[in-house]
């Protein structure tokens, strides 16, 4: 069992799982929500609805990392993200905030503004200084697997053994993080569904989620509205929440600790019913 983490007075003991990370995309071009939280007022309103639905963490990002997307300039990302974090922190003093960025300067300013967690899709590859920011702030750091960059990651991604390569990557990046000074109990792992993976790669990851427990770090999974769900359901992103809920129940059975989702309410309700019935059947 991973070591418990206390953030802003809230103890994540990893026994009462999964915890819910609600997504707030402060972008005009997100693949999944079309910029519905673009702007301070809209973002605060979105935060309120996610908290009411039961989100434990709000993940705020100012750059779309959908396939083939271009990077957002540093100053633009700062302009999008920092005022929103400040506004949400003022409106909801106790909520835990994660900043979804791979840029060290954005992470530093976000933590100064009231964020609590760094969620880095690059695992410190794109901007190595971001790990030093996590160290200096003593904050949890989500280390995700990605192959390539958002711009090129879905151009014919290939692996000889996707699970082995992700495990090798985690071993290497965890070692780097520890050498940078990040506390071992602050590292959270994300296998990166859809980030440099095709349909079969994503299925292979899901079938083998339990192997990542060997690292003894909390596992975060971001399945929400992903394209492989769309391939199964033949539905566009905004119609994939029920599919996300089904996948989340499966992830719960595989021991995933944090679920990063757009629609916290439907996923939480689906899991509540499943857990209630599952426990009743197994008692």
Domain boundaries, the chain: 5-281
264 pLDDT more than 90: yes
CATH for 5-281, options being 3.30.300.130, 3.40.50.740, 2.40.10.480, 3.20.20.20: 3.20.20.20
Answer yes or no: is pLDDT of 32 > 70: no
Write out the DSSP string of 94-147. Answer: TSEEEEE-S-HHHHHHHHHHT--EEEETTTTSS-THHHHHHHHHT--EEEE--S
pLDDT at 153: 76
pLDDT 10s digits, 219-234: 999 999 999 999 999 9
What's the mean pLDDT in 31-37?
Answer: 53
Please report which confidence band the pLDDT of residue 243 belongs to, taking 50, 70 and 90 as the band edges: very high
Is 66 assigned a catalytic role?
no
Active-site pick, 103, 167, 173, 260: 260
User: What is the overall mean pLDDT for the chain?
Assistant: 93
Alpha-carbon distance of 93 to 150, in angstroms, equals 33
Residue 7 burial (10 A CB sphere; 0-12, 13-18, 19+): middle
Q: What phi and psi values does residue 220 have, to the nearest 5 degrees? A: -105, 140
226 catalytically annotated: yes
Residue with the bigger pLDDT between 176 and 35: it is 176
> Stretch 27-33: mean pLDDT, rounded?
61
Residue 34 has a CB neighbour count (10 Å cut-off) of 14
Rg (CA), the chain: 17
Per-residue pLDDT at 38: 62
Among 147, 186, 197, 226, the active-site one is 226
* Cα gap 144→137, rounded to integer Å: 19
Least Cα distance to 173 among 197, 162, 189, 161 occurs for: 189
CA distance 192 to 166: 9
Q: What is residue 281's predicted lDDT score, i.e. its pLDDT?
A: 67
The confidence band for 280, taking pLDDT boundaries of 50, 70 and 90, is: low
What pTM was computed for the model?
A: 0.94
Token match 């009411």: residue? 52
Structure tokens at 152: 């090129």
Q: What is the DSSP string of 30-73?
A: -TTTTTTT-SHHHHHHHHHHHHHHT-SEEEEESS--STTPPPPP
Query: What's the gap between Cα 135 and its chain centre?
Result: 19
Two tokens at 165?
A: 């390569």
Per the model's pLDDT, the better-predicted residue between 93 and 67 turns out to be: 93
- The pLDDT value recorded for residue 229 is 96
Please write the tens of the pLDDT for every residue from 247-261.
Answer: 999 999 999 999 999
- Is it the case that residue 34 has pLDDT exceeding 60? no
Does 173 have pLDDT greater than 70?
yes
pLDDT for the residue 37: 55
Mean per-residue pLDDT, 138-167: 91
pLDDT band at residue 152 using 50, 70 and 90 as cut-offs: confident
Please report, rounded to a whole number, the percentage of residues in the chain having pLDDT higher than 90.
85
Instruction: Confirm if 140 and 186 have CB atoms less than 8 A apart.
Output: yes
Residue 68: is its pLDDT beyond 80?
no
Are 185 and 6 within 8 A, CB to CB?
Answer: no
Model pLDDT for residues 38-62, shown as the tens digit of each residue? 689 999 999 999 999 999 999 999 9
């Amino acid at each position: 069992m991973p070591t418990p983490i206390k953030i802003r007075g809230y103890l994540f003991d990893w026994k009462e799982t999964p915890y819910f990370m609600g997504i707030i995309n402060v972008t005009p071009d997100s693949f999944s929500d079309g910029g519905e939280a673009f702007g301070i007022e809209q973002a605060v309103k979105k935060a309120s609805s996610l908290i009411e639905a039961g989100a434990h963490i709000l993940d705020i990002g100012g750059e779309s990392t959908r396939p083939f997307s271009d990077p957002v300039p540093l100053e633009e990302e700062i302009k999008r993200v920092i005022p929103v974090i400040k506004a949400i922190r003022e409106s909801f003093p106790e909520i835990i905030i994660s900043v979804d960025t791979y840029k060290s300067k954005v992470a530093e300013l976000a933590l100064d503004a009231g964020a609590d967690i760094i969620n880095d899709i690059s695992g410190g590859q794109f901007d190595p200084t971001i790990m030093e920011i996590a160290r200096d702030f003593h904050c949890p750091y989500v280390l995700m697997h990605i192959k390539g960059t958002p711009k090129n990651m879905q151009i014919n991604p290939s692996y000889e053994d996707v699970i082995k390569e992700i495990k090798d990557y985690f071993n290497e990046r965890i070692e780097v993080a520890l050498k940078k000074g990040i506390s071992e109990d602050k590292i959270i792992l994300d296998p990166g569904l859809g980030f440099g993976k095709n349909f079969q790669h994503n299925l292979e990851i899901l079938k083998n989620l339990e192997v990542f427990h060997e690292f003894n770090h909390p596992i975060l999974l971001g399945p929400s509205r992903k394209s492989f769900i769309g391939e199964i359901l033949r539905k566009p992103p905004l119609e994939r929440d029920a599919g996300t809920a089904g996948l989340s129940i499966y992830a719960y059975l595989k021991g995933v600790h944090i679920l990063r989702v757009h629609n916290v309410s439907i996923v939480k309700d689906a899991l509540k019913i499943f857990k209630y019935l599952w426990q009743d059947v197994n008692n």
